[in-house]
Amino acid sequence: MNRSLRPCLSLPRHCRVRRIPARRWLVTDANADNYITVLGDKYPKDSKTNITSAIMDKLERKLHLQPSHPIGILRSMIETHYPGFTALSNFSPVVTPAMNFDDLSFPLDHPGRSLTDSYYINSDHMLRTHTSAHEVETFAKGIRQWLLTADVYRRDEIDGSHYPVFHQMEGARIFHDNPNGIKDLEEDNARLSAHLAKSNIVIEDVPHVTSTNPAQVSHNPKHAELVALNLKLSLNSLILDLFGGRAGAGEGEPLRVRWIEAYFPFTSPSYEVEVFFGGKWLEILGCGVVLQSTLDKANVPNSIGWAFGLGLERIAMILYSIPDIRLFWSQDPRFSSQFTPGQINTFKPFSRYPACYKDVSFWLPDKALHENDFCDLVRDAAGDFAEDVKLVDAFTHPKTGRSSQCFRINYRSMDR
């Protein structure tokens, strides 16, 4: 972390600040030498190293493997919904930029690659930003239908629904692109359509393939349509299983699901899915027909299939009525004792502590400061006490041209 980001001690005009002891702004031992140890492995640091100690603390928690944690409970419920799929959940969060981006055809100028969006250990290693980072290696193992759950890391702002670590579940299924494979696909589509036809669900769909959301040139257009249909039917029935008949979907009302055309570098056609719950449309996943180049990289010939990526916190917050994403990381028994494997119940809040606002302002370093850089400093210093951070003022000195910013940090403890 760049030390010039430490708050300047000569304070700009608009500030009304409590000084934070400078010591807390230095990034710990990680800066002490030229190496950084992540999950027991030592990596040389370089100009890309931007992982913080607050993030390092999260690497070992593995919430998705805890059987009585909402994230772990949701993982097993989804795994139960897809019998016959191989469940994987032990992949290291440390990946190469090639796995996270290049193998998935991300363009070189994609914003996700930037230091302000992702955590890098060094130029050759980073924390995965999505579970899709493991698509190639999983298909390469010869597994043709699988679910992979993992913690993923993205630099972000601070508020009640954003957290730099969250959990995703990737699901994928490929069919043999030959008469037998296509017959399996058609039979599965018929089975799923019959199930959904007798269920209380209303689906707002979009065409499977359009000129703006095209089938891939190497695909037989009819097969691509059948795969896209299988993807939609498979996810509609999962969503029905998770959300159907629950309070929030609307008393006695059908469950409403809406499909939207989307873009991802590694699928075509691509979609996002939203569920109507608690009076609002909520986006819960992205998906699409796997790009042929991904399967080629994995050495899987003559196959065609789909993949999806679900945000588990998003879904758990809705289903359990968990109001703040920080709660998932709470080790307070008043949180953890509320959940039971296999069950979805309404979370009962145990803290109503007041918000506590503190403003901090500082001169900006010569190179610009990204808001995410400031948020990572706050997370390192304040941990989960920081509920949200907002830029409330900016000032440029008319004579010197120096600029300053003022951020308002809301500290609120969830448990004390």
Residues at the interface with ligand PHE (CB under 6 A) = 130, 132, 170, 264, 267, 286-288, 307-309
What is the rounded distance in angstroms from the CA atom of residue 344 to the CA atom of residue 316? 9
Residue with smaller CB distance to ligand PHE, 153 or 264: 264
Residue with smaller CB distance to ligand PHE, 49 or 267: 267
Task: Give the nearest distance from C-beta 402 to ligand PHE in angstroms.
Answer: 39
Q: 336, 330 in Cβ contact below 8 A?
A: yes
Residue with smaller CB distance to ligand PHE, 52 or 168: 168
For residue 88, list its beta bridge partners: 148
Question: Would you state the structure tokens that stand for residue 50, as one six-digit string?
Answer: 């931007």
Task: Give the nearest distance from C-beta 175 to ligand PHE in angstroms.
Answer: 16
Task: Give the nearest distance from C-beta 276 to ligand PHE in angstroms.
Answer: 21
For residue 269, cis peptide bond before it (omega within 30 degrees of 0) = yes
Task: Give the nearest distance from C-beta 122 to ligand PHE in angstroms.
Answer: 23
**Element spanning 310, H or E:** strand 303-311
Residue with smaller CB distance to ligand PHE, 130 or 167: 130
Residue with smaller CB distance to ligand PHE, 130 or 412: 130
For residue 361, list its beta bridge partners: 406
Listed in order, strand segments (DSSP E) in 111-254 are 120-122, 125-127, 145-153, 165-176, 201-204
Residue with smaller CB distance to ligand PHE, 7 or 309: 309
Q: Which residue is nearest to ligand PHE (CB)?
A: 309
Residue 253: partners with Cβ closer than 8 Å, 6 or more residues away:
none
Task: Give the nearest distance from C-beta 104 to ligand PHE in angstroms.
Answer: 8
Task: Give the nearest distance from C-beta 372 to ligand PHE in angstroms.
Answer: 17
What is the rounded distance in angstroms from the CA atom of residue 13 to the CA atom of residue 395? 9
- The 3-state secondary structure of 399-410, one letter per residue: CCCCEEEEEEEE
